[in-house]
Structure 1
């Protein structure tokens, strides 16, 4: 897999994670720890994208 393709895959996962977080926050009775975990995963993806984009 080329670097550009890998970056695009990471960016798609990052967008999907954002949608999952928004959906989870709107859901009644969602566990706050679950949302926090999703946010941490999203941050890790963003860091990886930034690292590879340099």
Structure 2
């Protein structure tokens, strides 16, 4: 897998988590711990993408 393909894969996962977060925030039955976990995962993916982008140049 090329670096660009890996970045795109991570971006898709980040997008999916964004959708999941939106649903979780609009659902009163989701607890704060689950929302926090989604946000942490999004941040982790974003950090990975940034790291890959910086090594690409």
TM range (shorter): over 0.9
Q: Does 1:38 align with 2:25?
A: no
Runs of 4+ with >3 A deviation: none
- Aligned CA-pair RMSD: 0.6
TM-score (norm 1): 0.94
Q: Distance in 2 between matches of 1:40 and 1:28?
A: 20
Consecutive unaligned residues of structure 1, counting only runs of 5 or more, are none
Q: Distance in 1 between matches of 2:6 and 2:45?
A: 12
Q: Secondary structure at the match of 1:30?
A: coil
CA shift digits 1:1-54 (9 cap, x unpaired): 111111100011111111100101111221110000000000000000000001
TM-score (norm 2): 0.90
Q: What is the number of equivalent residue pairs in this alignment? A: 54
